[in-house]
């Protein structure tokens, strides 16, 4: 329920369920099975890229990428294909390590995609033998799925692939799509060597992707039989895009092709239904390219397959899902990160531009041009996603004609997801969130905030370390990055926030004129915290600093409250009542009442490279511990800037 109190211009959000979904079913409304079948272009006539034999077409498409891609492929002419041992898979069960299996897998797939692109660009047959070797390696694997995913997806719950069961996960889907492109472009060349090569490849694609997708509905990401409260995240559009591409390239029976593609539409509708109308990505900017960005790839491929007859790019939600990535950019490579998202990034400028063009968002097109300009020295990265590489080549000239610009706004409010961004004339960028503690890639971070000065992080969200077995298990919240104590949040009565859909925000309001955001944090804490209300209010001055005020009421007193703040710069706590942080020639001062609090500092070491690549060797946690305890009270922290 939402009320707009016009006199105060305050938007009040009351959401009765953490998993508010709307059964929009936009794709199924755009086309039923019969309509889809009639709209589908026969065979592979939909492919908008030149045939392998069209050398003029490929020289034009590859353009400035051509020489570099050929040179990159040449590096793999003597590549020794890596063996993935049984013990590499089983290591996930022993130590929780994913990389021992994923590293050789990625090396092989990167080699294959580079060889494929080099041969497409050159067209002289120089890379064909090594491409055949790569196809042979993947055809001989028992499974294309990753060990970390097999252990939950296989019925035997083991990390070693079961030859009797084919699992479609992110990796298997990627390989199905990539190898389908290999079959499409090089079947005739393979047949000149030995017809069994392409025939074996087709057999593997059918038994590993096409048949399991049609015969099974128990892959959680399909969400075919989604139960109330069930989760749908980036896996859905990512896997479905790969399956869609595989059907479009490999299935020539019109009836089977239509049935398979329509089944992906039913599944992707669940992802679209799961998202709020405001379009925010609850998984954060790092996942946007795999979530909304991969949904765009799916919709674009579907439009190609139907000559634009099946398209939902005109739907406001699809546009909102795209513009989130532009709005979430702080500057200088920093983004607003919550949950498992990294604070570094900004997205693929070419992808953002294409998405913006499809939904007619000039904001996205300009931001895409901005990111592409920043990434101009970056090389065309293929990975296992040949579609995006081909699309980047196809749209590069169009993108170069767009003027680069960042989104211009004072505040962005996502009322259903409860994300808020605000800027002021002092160079501050503030971000906060409400929501609940069971979002996809959740951290216990309801009510936290981040603050940036002149595009530099000050009060931060650490993000997440390298994924291990522990990351997505019952041990998840033993990891410090997931805990509310290492976010900018209170520890109430000695108790931290808890994970679960029932642990969520209350009494949320945003006043854009006052630049004031308020919410009750009490609902994010378990009964042990003995808290009735904990109303936190953030007020960003139009020119000046940030004021944080808290009013609380406890049921009983157990332990002194502690307010934690995670910062990037090493703070100076030498003066009572004042914490100083030195940021790009300026001083950020947080004033607090020294009569109420005792300050302390913890250095948080970051040995994990996934974190240290972003922040360096350490972050710092400031803790303000209450000197007095009371059932009712209020706290204030005033953050100001000195030149």
Q: Which domain holds residue 628?
A: 412-642
Quote the tokens at residue 122: 């050159």
For every residue of 303-341, DSSP letters joined together read: HHHTTTSS--TTSHHHHHHHHHHHHTEEETTEE---TT-
298 and 345 in a single domain? The answer is: yes
15 within a domain of the structure (yes/no): no
State which of 385, 408, 431 marks the end of a domain. 408
Q: Provide the 8-state DSSP code for 83.
A: P
8 within a domain of the structure (yes/no): no
pLDDT in tens, 24-39: 999 999 999 999 999 9
Please report, for the domain that includes residue 512, its CATH number: 2.70.98.70
72 and 162 in a single domain? The answer is: yes
Give the pLDDT band (50/70/90) at residue 57.
very high
236 and 290 in a single domain? The answer is: yes
CB atoms within 10 A of CB 544: 16
Looking at the structure of the chain, the number of domains it has is: 3
179 and 317 in a single domain? The answer is: no
pLDDT of residue 9: 30
**Cβ proximity of 461 and 445 under 8 Å:** yes
Tell me the percentage of the chain whose pLDDT exceeds 70. 96
CB atoms within 10 A of CB 470: 13
pLDDT in tens, 509-561: 999 999 999 999 999 999 999 999 999 999 999 999 999 999 999 999 999 99
CB atoms within 10 A of CB 574: 8
Quote the tokens at residue 584: 């790009």
186 and 276 in a single domain? The answer is: no
70 within a domain of the structure (yes/no): yes
184 and 267 in a single domain? The answer is: no
440 within a domain of the structure (yes/no): yes
**Cβ proximity of 60 and 349 under 8 Å:** no
404 within a domain of the structure (yes/no): yes
4 within a domain of the structure (yes/no): no
State which of 216, 245, 264 marks the end of a domain. 216
**Cβ proximity of 351 and 342 under 8 Å:** no
600 and 571 in a single domain? The answer is: yes
436 and 542 in a single domain? The answer is: yes
388 and 437 in a single domain? The answer is: no
pLDDT of residue 289: 94
18 within a domain of the structure (yes/no): no
Does residue 104 carry a pLDDT above 60?
Answer: yes
pLDDT of residue 617: 97
pLDDT in tens, 415-443: 999 999 999 999 999 999 999 988 888 99
pLDDT of residue 591: 97
Q: N- to C-terminal Cα distance for the chain?
A: 44
5 within a domain of the structure (yes/no): no
**Cβ proximity of 428 and 453 under 8 Å:** yes
Residue 164 burial by Cβ neighbours in a 10 Å radius (0-12, 13-18, 19+): exposed
pLDDT of residue 378: 66
Instruction: Residue 624: name the closest of 522, 520, 485 by CA.
Output: 485
Quote the tokens at residue 255: 């009836």
State which of 376, 408, 440 marks the end of a domain. 408
- Between 362-374 and 386-400, two packed helices, what is the crossing angle to 10 degrees? 100
Does residue 201 carry a pLDDT above 70?
Answer: yes
122 and 158 in a single domain? The answer is: yes
370 and 444 in a single domain? The answer is: no
**Residues whose CB is less than 8 angstroms from the CB of residue 287 and which lie 6 or more positions away in sequence, other chains included:** 233, 234, 281, 340, 341, 440, 441
pLDDT of residue 10: 32
Question: What's the rounded mean pLDDT across residues 562-577?
Answer: 97
Give the pLDDT band (50/70/90) at residue 11.
very low
pLDDT of residue 377: 65
Does residue 209 carry a pLDDT above 50?
Answer: yes
CA of residue 198 relative to chain centroid, distance: 35
396 and 529 in a single domain? The answer is: no
Does residue 231 carry a pLDDT above 90?
Answer: no
Residue in the block written with tokens 């390590």: 97
Quote the tokens at residue 571: 């703070």
Helices (H), strands (E): how many in the chain? 20, 22
CA of residue 557 relative to chain centroid, distance: 40
**Number of alpha carbons in the 13 Å side-chain half-sphere of residue 301:** 27
pLDDT of residue 19: 45
């Amino acid at each position: 329920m939402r009320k707009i109190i016009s006199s105060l211009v305050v938007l009040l959000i009351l959401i009765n369920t953490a998993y508010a979904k709307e059964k929009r079913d936009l794709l199924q409304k755009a086309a039923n099975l019969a309509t889809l079948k009639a709209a589908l272009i026969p065979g592979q006539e939909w492919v908008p890229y030149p045939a392998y034999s069209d050398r003029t077409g490929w020289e034009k498409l590859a353009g400035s990428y051509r020489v570099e891609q050929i040179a990159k492929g040449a590096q793999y002419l003597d590549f020794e294909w890596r063996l993935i041992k049984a013990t590499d898979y089983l290591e996930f069960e022993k130590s929780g390590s994913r990389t021992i299996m994923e590293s050789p897998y990625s090396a092989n797939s990167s080699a294959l995609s580079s060889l494929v692109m080099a041969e497409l660009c050159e067209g002289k047959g120089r890379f064909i033998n090594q491409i055949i070797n790569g196809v042979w390696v993947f055809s001989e694997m028992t499974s294309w799925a990753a060990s970390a995913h097999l252990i939950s997806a296989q019925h035997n719950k083991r990390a070693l692939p079961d030859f009797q069961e084919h699992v479609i996960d992110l990796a298997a889907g990627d390989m199905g799509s990539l190898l389908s492109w290999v079959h499409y472009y090089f079947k005739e060349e393979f047949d000149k060597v030995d017809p069994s090569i392409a025939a074996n490849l087709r057999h593997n694609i059918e038994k590993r992707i096409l048949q399991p997708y049609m015969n099974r509905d128990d892959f959680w990401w399909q969400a075919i039989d989604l139960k109330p409260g069930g989760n749908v995240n980036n896996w859905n559009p990512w896997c479905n895009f790969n399956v869609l591409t595989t059907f479009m390239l490999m299935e020539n029976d019109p009836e089977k092709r239509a049935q398979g593609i329509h089944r992906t539409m039913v599944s992707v509708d669940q992802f679209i239904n799961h998202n709020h109308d405001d379009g925010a990505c609850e998984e954060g900017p790092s996942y946007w390219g795999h979530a909304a960005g991969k949904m765009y790839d799916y919709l674009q491929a579907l439009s190609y397959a139907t000559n634009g007859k099946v398209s939902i790019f005109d739907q406001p939600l699809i546009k909102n899902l795209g513009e989130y990535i532009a709005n979430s950019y702080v500057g200088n490579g920093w983004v607003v990160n919550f949950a498992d998202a990294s604070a570094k990034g900004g997205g693929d400028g070419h992808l953002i531009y294409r998405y913006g063009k499809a939904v007619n968002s000039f904001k996205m097109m300009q931001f895409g041009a901005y990111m592409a300009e920043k990434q101009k020295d970056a090389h065309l990265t293929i990975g296992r996603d040949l579609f995006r590489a081909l699309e980047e080549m196809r749209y590069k000239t169009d993108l170069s004609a767009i003027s680069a610009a960042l989104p211009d706004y004072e505040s962005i409010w996502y009322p259903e997801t409860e994300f808020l961004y605000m800027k002021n004339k002092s160079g501050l960028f503030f971000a906060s969130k409400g929501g609940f503690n069971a979002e996809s890639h959740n951290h216990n971070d309801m009510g936290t905030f981040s603050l940036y000065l002149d595009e530099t992080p000050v009060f931060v969200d650490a993000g997440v370390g390298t994924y291990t077995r522990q990351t997505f298990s019952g041990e998840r919240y033993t990891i410090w990055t997931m805990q509310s104590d290492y976010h900018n949040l209170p520890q109430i009565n000695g108790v931290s926030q808890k994970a679960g859909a029932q642990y969520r925000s209350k009494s949320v309001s945003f006043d854009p004129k006052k630049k004031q955001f308020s919410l009750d944090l009490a609902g994010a804490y378990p009964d042990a915290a003995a808290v009735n209300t904990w109303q936190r209010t953030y007020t960003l001055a139009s020119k000046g600093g940030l004021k944080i005020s808290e009013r609380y009421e406890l049921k009983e007193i157990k332990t002194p409250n502690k307010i934690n703040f995670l910062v990037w710069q090493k703070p100076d706590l030498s003066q009572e009542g004042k914490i100083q942080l030195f940021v790009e020639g300026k001083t950020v001062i947080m004033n607090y009442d020294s009569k109420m609090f005792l300050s302390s500092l913890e250095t948080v070491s970051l040995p994990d490279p996934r974190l240290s690549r972003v922040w360096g060797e350490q972050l710092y946690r400031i803790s303000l511990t209450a000197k007095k305890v009371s059932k009712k009270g209020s706290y204030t922290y005033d953050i100001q800037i000195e030149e």
